[in-house]
C-alpha cells in the first residue's frame, strides 16, 4: 500500500512538473504576443499618419485643380463673375468645425464645408 502511494505521488509530481513547464511556456508565449501587439500598434499609428499625410497631399492637389476651374464654373452655373483672384480662407466656428471659403463677391460667399 505504501509502495502504491509512493508511485502515485511520484506520477503526480511528474505531471505537476509537466504542467509547470507548460504554464511557463504559455507565459513566455503570452509575453512575446504582448510585445508583438505593442509593436503592431506603434506601426499602425505610423501607417495612419502616413496615410493621413498622403490623403492631405492628394486632396490638396485635387483642390488646386478644382480651384483653377472654379471661376469658369461659377460664371457658367451661377452667372457669377470673379473679378479678382480667388483667395482661399479658412473659417473656424465656435463648435470647432471648419470651412474653406474661396470667393466673396457681391455679398455672396462661395465655399464648401470641409470638416478637419
pLDDT digits (tens, 9 = 90+) for 66-99: 878 888 888 899 887 777 777 777 788 899 888 7
Task: Give the predicted TM-score (pTM) of the model.
Answer: 0.51
The boundaries of the domain holding residue 17 are 2-81
pLDDT at res. 116:
41
Asked if pLDDT for residue 6 goes beyond 70, the answer is yes
Dihedral sign (CA 102, 108, 114, 115): positive
Residues 54 and 32 occupy one common structural domain: yes
- Say if residue 93 is in the same domain as residue 112: yes
Q: Are residues 7 and 64 in the same domain?
A: yes
Q: Residue 105 and residue 1: Cα distance in Å, rounded?
A: 106
The helix (H) or strand (E) run that includes residue 69 is helix 2-78
Question: In total, how many domains does the chain have?
Answer: 2
Which residues make Cβ contacts (< 8 Å) with residue 67, sequence separation at least 6? 86, 88, 102
pLDDT at 25: 98
Q: Are residues 60 and 14 both part of a single domain? A: yes
pLDDT at 49 over 50: yes
Which contacts of 60-69 are long-range, i.e. CB under 8 A and separated by 24 or more positions?
67/102
Amino acid at each position: 500500500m505504501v509502495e502504491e502511494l509512493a508511485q502515485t505521488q511520484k506520477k503526480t509530481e511528474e505531471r505537476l512538473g509537466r504542467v509547470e513547464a507548460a504554464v511557463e511556456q504559455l507565459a513566455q508565449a503570452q509575453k512575446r504576443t504582448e510585445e508583438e501587439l505593442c509593436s503592431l500598434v506603434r506601426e499602425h499609428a505610423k501607417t495612419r499618419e502616413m496615410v493621413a499625410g498622403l490623403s492631405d497631399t492628394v486632396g490638396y492637389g485635387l483642390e488646386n485643380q478644382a480651384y483653377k476651374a472654379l471661376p469658369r464654373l461659377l460664371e457658367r452655373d451661377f452667372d457669377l463673375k470673379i473679378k479678382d483672384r480667388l483667395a482661399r480662407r479658412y473659417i473656424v466656428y465656435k463648435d470647432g468645425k471648419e470651412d474653406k471659403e474661396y470667393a466673396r463677391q457681391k455679398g455672396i460667399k462661395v465655399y464648401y464645408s470641409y470638416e478637419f
